[in-house]
């Protein structure tokens, strides 16, 4: 049996595993709701109505007039701003669940070449990651655009720049799902993977990104953090756009990565994790 046939069969098996459990659509539901509410909130506060409200309440300097494309990109990129934790978790879960429930034994009996199983999981992680990207956009565009329109703002959905952001969002969610897979395959412990994913995405990385911006040398390094690389890849992000929103925030001391550099950073990190897992946990006895 050729390797390609084996890979095709393993991929079909991995897809069947995903769709025979509830977790994939539960995660999707959470993603749509979380991203949708974030996008609606952003759309409101970035609109003139929101700015007026903020100005009235804060009594500070009037907010600058924002380019509709910048607003639209920020609203629609809620997927990558807050939603990446979902594909990341998904990727980590599809491998750690095999260790947790002992299903790695039947999986390995059916396909003893473990590199093929991991490759099949990577294909499924990328496909499902892109699907989560679509679901995220259903949330961010589906709720963000009507709010913008209702508040009299331009939804900018026909703008090539905005369409580019939407398409690259799918690449980002696919890559984050692969990052989760690599992390999960390396850790094997489901609890450890979940704790690390939540702690890193919710606390550690945002803090690192803010602190990294303080000095030039750290800003150079900070560009390679997964979140910064993602903003570069997608072309929009709250933390990368602080200057556009509030001119009192200084312009970043270093140039951001280009979109393809950002993609390469994420893809490279995922590849390193996956190869490391294949060489370590992938060679251990199946217990």
Stretch that binds another protein, among 20-28, 166-174, 180-188, 207-215 (CB under 8 A): 20-28
Q: Considering the rule CB under 8 A, would residue 105 count as an interface residue with another protein?
A: yes
Strand residues in 32-106 grouped as ranges (E)? none
26 touches another protein (CB under 8 A)? no
CB of residue 13 vs another protein: minimum separation in angstroms? 4
- How far does CA 37 lie from the centroid of its chain? 17
CA distances for 179 relative to 114, 121, 187, 191, 216, angstroms: 19, 12, 12, 17, 27
Q: CA torsion 96→118→202→163, rounded to 10°? A: -140
Select from 101, 167, 204, 268 the one that contacts another protein (CB under 8 A).
101
3-state secondary structure of 240: coil
111 binds another protein (CB under 8 A): yes
Least separation in angstroms between residue 124's CB and another protein is 12
Question: For 47-66, b where at least 16 C-beta lie within 10 A, e where not — what string?
Answer: bebbbeeeeeeeeeeebeeb
Max CA pair span of the chain: 72
21 belongs to the binding site for another protein (CB under 8 A)? yes
Does 106 interact with another protein (rule: CB under 8 A)?
A: yes
> Residue from 53, 110, 167, 191 that binds another protein (CB under 8 A)?
110
Q: What tokens appear for 3 in the block?
A: 């390797």
Minimum distance from residue 178 beta carbon to another protein (Å): 21
Name which of 26 and 163 has its Cβ closer to another protein: 26
Question: Could you give the C-alpha distances from 7 to 14, 172, 274, in angstroms and in order?
Answer: 10, 24, 17
Residue 22 vs 57, nearer CB to another protein: 22
Q: Count Cβ neighbours within 10 Å for each residue of 253-265 and write b for 16 or more, e otherwise.
A: ebebbebeebbbb
Beta carbons within 10 angstroms of residue 91's beta carbon? 34
Residue 102 binds to another protein (criterion: CB under 8 A): yes
9 binds another protein (CB under 8 A): yes
CB 125 within 8 A of CB 270: no
Q: Of these, 3, 29, 55, 103, which contacts another protein (CB under 8 A)?
A: 103
Which stretch, 59-67, 108-116, 153-161, 182-190, contacts another protein (CB under 8 A)? 108-116
**From the CB of 108, what's the least distance to another protein, in Å?**
6
Judged by CB under 8 A, does residue 261 bind another protein?
A: no
Q: Report the interface residues with another protein, using CB under 8 A.
A: 1, 5, 9-10, 12-13, 16-17, 20-23, 97, 101-103, 105-113, 285-286
């Amino acid at each position: 049996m050729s390797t390609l046939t084996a890979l095709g069969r393993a991929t079909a098996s991995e897809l069947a595993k995903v769709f025979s459990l509830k977790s994939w659509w539960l995660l999707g539901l959470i993603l749509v709701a979380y991203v949708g509410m974030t996008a609606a909130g952003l759309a409101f506060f970035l609109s003139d109505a929101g700015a007026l409200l903020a100005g009235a309440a804060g009594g500070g300097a009037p907010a600058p007039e924002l380019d509709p494309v910048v607003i639209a990109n920020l609203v629609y990129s809620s997927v990558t701003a807050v939603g990446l934790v979902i594909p990341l978790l998904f990727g980590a879960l599809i491998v750690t669940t095999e260790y947790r429930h002992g299903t790695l034994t039947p999986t390995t009996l059916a396909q003893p070449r473990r590199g093929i199983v991991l490759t099949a999981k990577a294909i499924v992680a990328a496909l499902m990651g892109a699907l989560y990207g679509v679901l995220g956009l259903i949330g961010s565009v589906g709720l963000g655009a009507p709010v913008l329109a209702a508040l009299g703002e331009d939804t900018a959905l026909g703008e090539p720049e905005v369409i580019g952001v939407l398409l690259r969002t799918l690449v980002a969610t696919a890559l984050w799902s692969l990052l989760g897979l690599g992390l999960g395959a390396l850790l094997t412990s489901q609890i450890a993977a979940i704790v690390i994913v939540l702690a890193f995405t919710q606390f550690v990385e945002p803090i690192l990104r803010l602190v990294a911006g303080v000095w030039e040398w750290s800003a150079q390094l900070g560009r390679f953090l997964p979140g910064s690389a993602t903003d570069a890849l997608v072309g929009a992000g709250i933390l990368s756009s602080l200057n556009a929103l509030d001119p009192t925030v200084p312009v970043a001391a270093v140039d951001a990565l280009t979109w393809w550099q950002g993609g390469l950073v994420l893809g490279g990190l995922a590849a390193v994790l996956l190869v490391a897992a294949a060489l370590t946990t992938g060679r251990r006895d199946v217990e």
